[in-house]
Structure 1
Amino acid sequence: MAKLELQHLKKQFSNQVIPVKDITLEVNDGEFLTLLGPSGCGKSTLLRMIAGLDQPTEGKVILGNRDLTTVPPGERNIAMVFQSYALYPHLTVFDNISTALKLRKISNPEIQTRVYDVANRLEIEHLLTRKPAQLSGGQRQRVALARALVRNPEVFLLDEPLSNLDALLREQVRADLKQLFNSQQKPVVYVTHDQTEALTLSSKIAVLYQGYLQQLASPSEIYNAPANQFVAGFVGSPQMNLLCLNCRDNQAILGEFQIPLPPLKTQPSKIVLGIRPEDIHLGTWEDSDHLEAQIFLVEDLGKEKLLNVRIAEFDQRIRFLVPAQQTWEGETVKLSLSPQRIHWFDAESGDRFS
């Protein structure tokens, strides 16, 4: 068992592109860390530096008490699962899984035992004589996972392994992955831009943007207490409403509605209010402290409807969820915001007001 540490990692390419600017984090035994962020934020580059496929410009990769920064990939005892599966097309499933063991000159009886054991756990033992062209996408992904598991590495790295699967299969394999790595008790670093994967699989999430770490926390904390506007807007579907409001007399002004501000050292002239679509509800016309809004679009999501509304004299749209069976009259409705579910952010820095 070993702890993975990344210390002030930076990667700069010769064309002055700097995908990773300064990343420091730890992954303990049994932790499942997801690197989450949009394309170009540096998450795959970071994974490649851990694997040794790219050398950092600055910083260190530490595993246990061993500095791996300059150690070749083949000597790191780290297994990586690629987005493209990277299977040998001319080899059978058995040979694809056992390749790394043969290179390490492990005895044939032990190879047989380990391959059949991991194939049984991934339910692909009936595919061992087939070649990759005879497999479905989900089966190929399981073979790629088996090839990583059979090595019994110190760290698992996965680079968007589910992105090539259809939605239904992705959901099934995601559940299998969670069970599988819960039993491994090894550090796992998983790269994705899919927030559903990150929230459901992870024990910790590292949200990256423009090469910097925005927040490192549990899925619950990332969702319920985002560190800044970027995290708030990136994590959650439908996306959090982020409204830049004027402030007056310790209140934020939203149309004709005034919302009390949290305790602040000084009152800003503007503040960003964040509230998730599930924390806004339809009010009644008898309520005087509700927002009046005009519906301009209704999106049917099956079990829920996503209402898009505009508030009088307010430019931005607000989106909120209602149950599929919810009804209303006309195109004008009243909204109720849950005060305890409002998030406040600095309009200039984007940082969260605690």
Structure 2
Amino acid sequence: MAKLKLQNLRKQFAPQVVPVKDISLEIEDGEFLTLLGPSGCGKSTLLRLIAGLEEPTAGTVAVGERNLNKVAPGNRNMAMVFQSYALYPHMTVAENIGTALKIRKTPSAEIQSRVAEVAQKLGLGSLLDRKPRELSGGQRQRVALARALVRNPDVFLLDEPLSNLDALLREQVRAELKQLFDSQNKPVVYVTHDQTEAMTLSSKVAVLKDGLVQQLDPPRRIYTHPANEFVAGFVGSPQMNLLTLRCEGQQAFLGDFRIALPDFSNPLSSVVMGIRPDDVSLATPEETQTVQGEVFLTEGLGKENLISIRIDGSDTNIRALLPADRAWEGNKVTLALLPEKIHWFDVKSGERLN
């Protein structure tokens, strides 16, 4: 077993087209790393660099002590699962799963044994004689996973493998994926723009923007302690409230209300305050840091409502998750902003201040 190591990777297609700028990561055996970010952030290009489908402009890809930069994709012993399944339509499920082993000239008896073993793990045992057109989307995705597993690779690479599935099936296959890879002691690199997949599957998440890693941490840390304003706004649903406030001394001003600032080393004239809607609550009489406003929009989410409030004395809006057992729209509410739930970011750099 050996870890996957990326060192100062860069990929430049043209002077102004640099999807991967300078990325260094280490993925240990048994670690599930998700590359998370919006379209165009460089995550798929980074995966293709690892697989050998693209050649880096600079930097190295290595497994253990073996530098793979000049190694052809087929010789890297990596298994890749694609978004589109990429199954051979004229082959049976068994033949699709065993393709890589056949190319390696593995003995037929061993191919049959390994295909049967992997198919049993993924619930495909009764489907081995079917063609892809006879399968559902979830079954096709399992065949693509089985094809990767049967190779016993050094590294697993998955490129948005659930994006073609409907919401219910995606949830089911996601749970199966987690169980499956928890039992594999190999590095896994998973690409997605879906934060739910990233938060539920990963042991670590690398949030990417403009070809650079913005934060590399366990999912819970990404959510509770975002490194900068971009990560704070990208991770979490509903999206975090991010408000630019004027500062004076140890206070920030939100409409008619004052918010106490932490003891920053340098005085600030303005700051970005972040607070998640699920951390905004109705104030009790004991609360000392509150704001008031009028509810102008209610979005029903089942058990809770996502409500939008215009803060008194300003044109600033804040959103909160509140119980769905009453009518909110048009009413005045008093909200508590607990200091321990507030995130502070620098206005210019976007970096976290607290």
- Normalising by structure 1, report the TM-score: 0.97
Q: Secondary structure at the match of 2:281?
A: strand
User: Does the alignment pair 1:335 with 2:335?
Assistant: yes
Q: Secondary structure at the match of 1:26?
A: strand
CA distance in 2, matches of 1:15, 1:22: 15
> What's the CA shift for 1:297?
0.5
Residue identity opposite 1:161 in structure 2: P
CA distance in 1, matches of 2:314, 2:24: 41
Instruction: Among all aligned residue pairs of Structure 1 and Structure 2, give the percentage whose two residues are the same amino acid.
Output: 66
> What's the CA shift for 1:286?
8.9
What does residue 190 of structure 1 align with?
Answer: 190
CA distance in 1, matches of 2:178, 2:67: 29
Deviation by residue 1:264-317 (Cα, 9 ceiling, x = unmatched): 111110000000011001225896752111111100001211001111232332
Deviation by residue 1:217-276 (Cα, 9 ceiling, x = unmatched): 000110000000000000000000001000012111111221111121111100000000
What does residue 240 of structure 2 align with?
Answer: 240
User: Does the alignment pair 1:212 with 2:212?
Assistant: yes
CA distance in 1, matches of 2:300, 2:13: 45
Runs of 4+ in 1 over 4 A off after TM superposition: 284-289, 326-330
Q: Secondary structure at the match of 2:100?
A: helix
Q: Does structure 1 retain, via aligned residues, the 8 Å contact 2:289–2:337?
A: no
Residue identity opposite 1:215 in structure 2: Q
Q: Which moved more, 1:326-335 or 1:40-49?
A: 326-335
What does residue 31 of structure 1 align with?
Answer: 31
Relative distance call for 1:123 and 1:149 in structure 2 (3 A) is: same
CA distance in 2, matches of 1:146, 1:18: 34
> What's the CA shift for 1:15?
6.4
Q: Does structure 2 retain, via aligned residues, the 8 Å contact 1:285–1:334?
A: no
> What's the CA shift for 1:323?
2.2
CA distance in 2, matches of 1:288, 1:208: 38
Deviation by residue 1:110-168 (Cα, 9 ceiling, x = unmatched): 11111011000000111111111111111100000000000000000000000000000
What does residue 123 of structure 1 align with?
Answer: 123
> What's the CA shift for 1:69?
1.1
CA distance in 2, matches of 1:287, 1:229: 27
CA distance in 2, matches of 1:35, 1:349: 23
What does residue 55 of structure 1 align with?
Answer: 55
Q: Does structure 2 retain, via aligned residues, the 8 Å contact 1:19–1:41?
A: yes
What does residue 222 of structure 1 align with?
Answer: 222
Q: Which moved more, 1:256-265 or 1:134-143?
A: 256-265
- Normalising by structure 2, report the TM-score: 0.97
Q: Does structure 1 retain, via aligned residues, the 8 Å contact 2:178–2:201?
A: yes
Residue identity opposite 1:19 in structure 2: P
What does residue 138 of structure 1 align with?
Answer: 138
What does residue 281 of structure 2 align with?
Answer: 281
Deviation by residue 1:14-38 (Cα, 9 ceiling, x = unmatched): 4641111111111000000000000
CA distance in 2, matches of 1:155, 1:176: 19
User: Does the alignment pair 1:307 with 2:307?
Assistant: yes
Q: Does structure 2 retain, via aligned residues, the 8 Å contact 1:273–1:344?
A: yes
Residue identity opposite 1:154 in structure 2: D
What does residue 12 of structure 1 align with?
Answer: 12
Q: Secondary structure at the match of 1:170?
A: helix
CA distance in 1, matches of 2:111, 2:330: 69
Gaps of 5+ in 2: none
CA distance in 2, matches of 1:171, 1:142: 14
Deviation by residue 1:195-223 (Cα, 9 ceiling, x = unmatched): 00000000000000011110000001100
Residue identity opposite 1:195 in structure 2: Q
Residue identity opposite 1:350 in structure 2: G
RMSD value over aligned CA atoms?
A: 1.4
Q: Secondary structure at the match of 1:29?
A: coil
Q: Secondary structure at the match of 2:318?
A: strand
Residue identity opposite 2:343 in structure 1: H
